[in-house]
Chain A
């Protein structure tokens, strides 16, 4: 069965610094992978998704993620953090084993704090 592990429940960076949020997945089939962002008191919004095309995926707000099959990773990065990036970030894998093709398996989330 598919699963997702996010390393680090809390990450703090300085404004202008590199953002790196880690995600490792487990999947018995070629995965579809997603990063979602949740701002306070809001729903989840898609940042980017990997669907077996280019391994480097660019998303909104300057974020990107690289699919590395050999490392089973899909880490999220942004070269320069902005105060507005403070939010919770969720990595997710599309579950095929269960038959419900739109089910997403979510990681436990990483809360990103950006210090001025």
Chain B
């Protein structure tokens, strides 16, 4: 089954404790992206990757890092989480060229 898989789905952590949210897709998509969803703000792009070893900032990259060492994986790293990073995070992927985005089921992160 074609899918985008994120882990963990739910996480409560404390300020400053490094964490990684993993994302994996099995559709051989070149493009992958991370969004955060906050009430009243919709979805905002954090980082994206056009292909392996090619990543770039989205609209709200502060406090986040990403890497793309393999085509299928695109982890989101919070080096020192802060409470304003409490949010619902979505990973998405697609083929190149204005294609449809396929979304994971989301990771709800709470930073205390």
Contact = CB atoms under 8 A, between A and B. Distances in A.
Interface string A7-44: 00100000000000000000000001010100001111
Please classify how large the interface on chain A is, using the bins under 10, 10 to 19, 20 to 34, 35 or more. Answer: 20 to 34
Contact of A32 (B41, B98, B103, B106): B98
A108 B90 CA distance: 15
B96 A101 contact: yes
Interface string B100-111: 110111100000
Interface in B42-68: 42-45, 48, 50, 56, 58
Nearest to A109: B42
Interface in A50-72: 51
Contacts of A90: 42-43
Given A43-B90, A44-B103, A90-B42, A103 B33 contact: yes
Interface of A: 9, 32, 34, 36, 41-46, 49, 51, 90, 94, 96, 100-104, 106-109
B81 to A, nearest CB: 22
B106 A106 contact: no
Please classify how large the interface on chain B is, using the bins under 10, 10 to 19, 20 to 34, 35 or more. Answer: 20 to 34
B74 interface: no
A109 B97 CA distance: 25
B103 to A, nearest CB: 4
Contact of A103 (B42, B58, B106): B58
Contact of B45 (A44, A46, A103): A103
Given A90-B42, A90-B43, A108-B40, 14 more contacts: A42-B106, A43-B103, A43-B105, A44-B103, A45-B103, A46-B100, A49-B100, A100-B48, A100-B50, A102-B33, A103-B48, A106-B42, A107-B42, A109-B42
